[in-house]
Amino acid sequence: MSTTHTYRDLFRLDGRRALVIGAGGIGLEAAKALKDHGAHVTCADQDIGTAQSAAEEVAGDPLQLDVTDAAAVRRAAQDLGPLDAVVLTAAMNVRKRILDYSPEEFDRVVSLNLKGTFMVIQQFGAPMVARRSGSIIVFSSIREEVVEPGQSVYAATKAGAVQLVKTAAAEFGEAGVRVNAIAPGVVETSLTHQIKSDPQWYQAYASKSALGRWSVPSELAGAVVFLASDAAGYVTGTSLRVDGGWTAIDGRFTPPTPP
Q: Which residues does the annotation mark as catalytic? A: 154
Task: Kindly provide the b/e burial profile for residues 66-85, where b requires at least 16 CB atoms within 10 angstroms of the residue's own CB.
Answer: bbbeeebbeebbeebeebbb
Between CA 239 and CA 235 the distance in angstroms is 10
Pick the closest to residue 209 from 231, 241, 165 (CA basis).
Answer: 241
- What DSSP state is assigned to residue 245? T
Distance of CA 61 to the CA centre of its chain: 20
Tell which residue, 132, 130, 158, 128, has the closest CA to residue 143: 158
